[in-house]
Amino acid sequence: MRPPVAVIEKLAFGGSGVCRIDGKVCFVPLSCPGDEVSLHITTQKKSYCTASIAEIIHPSPHRVVPPCALFGQCGGCTWQQISYPVQLESKRNILAETLWRGARVPADLIGDIVPAAMQYGYRNRLQFKVSVLNGELSIGFYRQGSHQVVNAADGCPVAAPVINQVLSCFRTLLRSYPDVEMVSQLSIDAGDSGVLVIIHQSGSVTAKQRNFFLGRTGDFGACTGLFISTDKRSPSEKLWGSPDICYHMGGANDRKQVVLSYPPGGFAQVHQLQNQAMLAVIRRFGDFTTAEQLLDLYCGNGNFSLPLAAEVASVTGIEGNADSIRAAEQNRVINSVANARFFCDDAASGVRRLAAEGRQFDTVLLDPPRAGAGDALSGIVRLQPEKIIYASCDPSTLARDCGLLAESGYAVVESVPIDMFPQTFHIESVTLLCSQKG
Taking every pair of Cα atoms in the chain, the longest distance, rounded to a whole number of angstroms, is 73
Alpha-carbon torsion, ordered 74, 75, 80, 84, to 10 deg: -150
Residue 389 buriedness (CB in 10 A; 0-12 / 13-18 / 19+): buried
pLDDT averaged over consecutive 10-residue blocks of the chain (438 residues)?
91 96 95 97 94 97 96 92 98 98 97 97 96 93 90 96 98 96 96 94 94 96 95 84 90 73 89 96 96 97 96 97 95 96 96 94 97 95 97 98 97 98 97 90
Beta-sheet pairing, 245-249 with 314-319:
unpaired
Count the neighbouring beta carbons within 10 Å of the beta carbon of residue 22.
Answer: 8
> Which pLDDT score is estimated for 229?
93
> Which pLDDT score is estimated for 438?
60
Any idea how long the chain is?
438
> Which pLDDT score is estimated for 321?
93
> Which pLDDT score is estimated for 274?
97
Residues labelled catalytic: 393
> Which pLDDT score is estimated for 252?
52
Question: Which residues touch 63 (CB under 8 Å, ≥6 apart)?
Answer: 32, 34, 35, 81, 82, 83
> Which pLDDT score is estimated for 250?
84
- Helix, strand, or coil here: 353? helix
List, for residues 261-280, the tens digit of each pLDDT value: 998 888 899 999 999 999 99
Domains and CATH numbers, the chain: 5-63 (2.40.50.140), 88-117+271-435 (3.40.50.150), 125-245 (2.40.50.1070)
Amino acid residing at 361: F
Question: Which residues touch 215 (CB under 8 Å, ≥6 apart)?
Answer: none
List, for residues 57-95, the tens digit of each pLDDT value: 999 999 999 999 999 999 889 999 999 999 999 999 999
> Which pLDDT score is estimated for 267?
87
This prediction has a pTM of 0.94
> Which pLDDT score is estimated for 255?
66
Percent of the chain as helix, strand, coil, to the nearest 5: 25, 30, 40
- Helix, strand, or coil here: 273? helix
> Which pLDDT score is estimated for 244?
85
Q: What backbone phi and psi angles, to 5 degrees, belong to 245?
A: -120, 140
- Helix, strand, or coil here: 428? strand
> Which pLDDT score is estimated for 234?
76
> Which pLDDT score is estimated for 277?
96
Question: Which residues touch 54 (CB under 8 Å, ≥6 apart)?
Answer: 3, 37, 38, 39, 40
Quick check: 304 and 238 in contact, CB under 8 A?
Answer: no
Quick one: which of 346, 267, 348 has its CA closest to 301?
Answer: 267
> Which pLDDT score is estimated for 437?
78
Q: What backbone phi and psi angles, to 5 degrees, belong to 76?
A: -85, -90
Cα–Cα distance, 128 to 140 (Å, whole number) = 5
Quick check: 183 and 138 in contact, CB under 8 A?
Answer: no
